Structure 1
């Protein structure tokens, strides 16, 4: 008898994003893909109309929505899930002095608490299949870009916790991969950026045009596509990799720089930040 088709659930599968790129590659590899999004209509038609792709409405900050997703997946897979990819996330670009605290907490809810809630909810399915959880963090977790402190902090929390979860889940037969994601050309900022104007009372008001232009997507120019990123991730999942994996444009050199001279990297970031603020 043929082995059951492997399954993967991916959060944040809106068109032109990392989640959609991952879903496409996993589908090509023969997985049953559960492509999820808070707004299912944003999942690209190439996925939603494909065989062996199930589109689910999933709001990762809603316990009720997560529970409904677990029930839907369990019914179709006999209570198993081979791969869970925590990909959903959001960002907020503002100086720390100007960040509305409640909005900052929402970013932490989405970038940190939601992946933990997803892991807790889907753990029985992953344990049953001796599966794999993939947490999409960011190079910003260790290379903190100025004006993104809430995003950087939330991704640093996820990266550290993901490696902690790896040690806790290993005895249960579940692998954990922590993605340190570098440049990928997506619509992430359009879909998940919390937009605020720099207030007139800000210490940084004189460079407000520079700050407010950062989410324009120009930082992603020349980056690899979501599908290229997906190919890399699927490869490490299928190889049985565990631990931290750097992926995205210039990922190798970013990893080398951080490994060899973390203080130098931070100094360069500091210098660049000061130059922009002059």
Structure 2
């Protein structure tokens, strides 16, 4: 009788792609550990599913990770797939982002994934398993006002690609998702901006905060999760360009000179002319 495969997913709150990952992997026959800082935010059907274990997990807390590891080890001595999905975005000019905010975002988006990989490493090695790090096209494109988010995702891409080489001799694959648009609550969950009193960017606060109610390139979470599942199943490794518009973004990055890429990124939030005008008034 075949041993049931296992998968752990971080960041499984309703409305995000984490819950879609859980659905996809449980439907494929995995026993899935669905985790979130607040388990009550995980969709109720996943609480009721026979092959899903819901756990509280804060990836920025060593104590929380250790407690989750104990619970997982009660059910299995191996982990076939670890999906590091927990993360947040942040829109704020680099001049105005506090170092505390920046470090907190890195703790979640980068160091959280690293901490999970370290804690569950022995279970992954025992299974000859796969680590899936959910990064972003923001890690390769310089979208204005997302410098800390972009940097944290760039770190995850480069870290993941290096971990891939380090862990391959142990039989563990590392996939890094360079994720494009997904139709989730990502923009809805953005923090409200609070600018310092002397911020140069107050006159364009509305432009910085403006986000589409619906991502025009947003792929449905279930379709995205199925795509990732298929890549895991067929043994993919390394960078995987997935999600809405990711293929076009990859081609554009290869084809366009930096000046064209800059214009594309600036067009997402056309702020430069207004900021120049407002700054000129104060000069």
**TM-score, reference length from structure 2:** 0.92
CA displacement, residues 149-198 of structure 1 (integer Å, 9 cap, x when unaligned): 0000000001000000000000000001000000001112344x333223
What is the Cα deviation at residue 68 of structure 1?
0.9
1:213 aligns with 2:210: yes
Give the aligned partner of residue 92 of structure 1: 90
1:153 aligns with 2:151: yes
Larger radius of gyration: 2
Aligned-CA RMSD value: 1.6
What is the distance in 1 between the residues matched to 2:257 and 2:22? 34
Give the aligned partner of residue 60 of structure 2: 61
Question: Structure 2: which 5+ runs fail to align?
Answer: 274-283
What is the distance in 1 between the residues matched to 2:111 and 2:89? 15
What is the distance in 2 between the residues matched to 1:94 and 1:167? 34
Give the aligned partner of residue 11 of structure 2: 12
Give the aligned partner of residue 231 of structure 1: 226
What is the distance in 1 between the residues matched to 2:269 and 2:17? 32
1:173 aligns with 2:168: no
Contact 1:183 1:249 in 2 (8 A): yes
CA displacement, residues 177-235 of structure 1 (integer Å, 9 cap, x when unaligned): 000000001112344x3332234421111111111223xx4362451111111011000
CA displacement, residues 107-157 of structure 1 (integer Å, 9 cap, x when unaligned): 000011110000000000000000000000000111121000000000000
For the residue of structure 1 that corresponds to 2:120, the secondary structure is helix
4+ residue runs over 3 A deviation: none
CA displacement, residues 236-269 of structure 1 (integer Å, 9 cap, x when unaligned): 0000001110111111111111122352552323
Distance verdict in 2 for CA 1:270–1:235, change over 3 Å: closer
- 205-214 or 48-57, which deviates more: 205-214
Question: Structure 1: which 5+ runs fail to align?
Answer: none
What is the Cα deviation at residue 64 of structure 1?
0.6
Distance verdict in 2 for CA 1:177–1:274, change over 3 Å: closer
What is the distance in 2 between the residues matched to 1:115 and 1:103? 18
**TM-score, reference length from structure 1:** 0.94
Name the structure with the higher helix share.
Answer: 1
